Amino acid sequence: MLFNSIFAVACSLAVPAAAQLATGYQLGPPTSSSAKWAVKVCDVTDYGAVADGVTDIGPPLLAAFTACKSGGIVNIPLGTFAMATWVTLDDGVAWGINFEGTIVRTGTAGGHMIVIENSSDFELYSSRSSGAIQGYGYEFHSQGEYGPRLIRLINVEYFSVHDIALVDSPAFHLILDTCTGGEVYNMIIRGGNEGGLDGIDVWGFNIYIHDVEVTNKDECVTVKNPSNHILIENIYCNWSGGSAIGSLGLDTDISKITYNNIYTWSSNQMMMLKSNGGNGTVSDCVFSNFIGHSNAYSLYIDAYWTSETLQAGDGVLYTDLTFSNWKGTCADGAVRAPIMAICPTGQPCDGITIEDFAMWTDTGSSEYYKCENAWGSGGCLVGGSAHTAYAITTQTITAAPSGYSAAKMPNDLASGFAITASIPIPTVPTTFFPGVTPATARAYP
């Protein structure tokens, strides 16, 4: 695969700080789904799959892939298919999976139910916007356990994942691991109301994630290390943990990440950058047009995040980051500051810009901002170019900022989903951010 060489080239591109996706590179599969259908169709029912909710689809899915891995479509038709054994689909070219029916987990092994690895020109989608994986994670979670993750793409280039639902994973839902030139859109993810059930975790180069709704109590859409040129927009964190960059440690190399049009409701945070020790940089990133309602934290940089084991090093450098046009409310701004920038003493943040920030508190009549070792402009940041360590500073706000009122989404959940009962499979939505039409229409209106 080309990831390592492309990643190295992209790191040297002369582009402005607000850059999103890299120009001059393929984004998504170059071969259309219709062209793949015309080459070959490998229907899993021709290889032994039965839509009875009992027969294991694992071996038939692997056999169908083997027959179509050099070009074509693996078709999973309407119906309910059980999955008892997991599959790794390795080294495919110009192929796809059309996912019409529902796969329900019946196996109990760990790992990942479906791994797509070392593939190029790949599409995982539902032409009817009806495909789903039901992980029945509650069967593990109610016993205080975790199980397999649903889908992992490893070293995949020029791909798309769209128009499917991922539901109640026993662990993470979708992982994009060292991927290049991909697009993820028109998806809904619903997990239980506890940690460890990440929505989308991504690291790689030139990836566009948009028009996705996530419910869980951990990561909504989160960027991991190393990454650059990733655009994430029109995201609906609907009773979630919220979006993040991290956790970060040694050899952090993240740049040119854009989060835009992020709506977050009743979540842990709107956006968190998190590390504990380590080294390297997070640079040239933009976080624009955020709407939040009733979240615990809002804008949160934590370089001493105690949920992560302390890493060697002076700390990750957060530099040249812009947070603009944030509106809405936090749950209690006197308890958890809506601006909290706690940077490493050994590597203070610099070049941080906070502008058009108007967040107010649901509870009480005041809130405060909290900064430490954080240089820049806006909020409690210290201005100037000293870039040295300083003690915690706070700023108290006693009146609602002008323009904090913000639109709400019509489908904000009243609560998260219990970890002791099955989560219903939802329909892929048609809206993900107030007043914004999805960039791509659903495959099946």
Catalytic residue set = 218, 293
Question: What Å distances lie between residue 368 and 8, 185, 332, CA to CA?
Answer: 41, 36, 10
Question: In sequence order, which residues have a C-beta less than 8 Å from that of residue 322 and are 6 or more positions away?
Answer: 17, 18, 285, 286, 287, 288, 353, 355
Question: Tokens at residue 178, please?
Answer: 């060292």
Neighbours of 249 (CB within 10 A): 20
Helix (H) or strand (E) holding 81: strand 80-83
C-alpha span between 286 and 258 (Å, rounded): 5
Helix (H) or strand (E) holding 221: strand 219-223
Neighbours of 107 (CB within 10 A): 16
Residue 170 near residue 133, CB atoms below 8 Å: no
Helix (H) or strand (E) holding 5: helix 3-11
C-alpha span between 63 and 47 (Å, rounded): 6
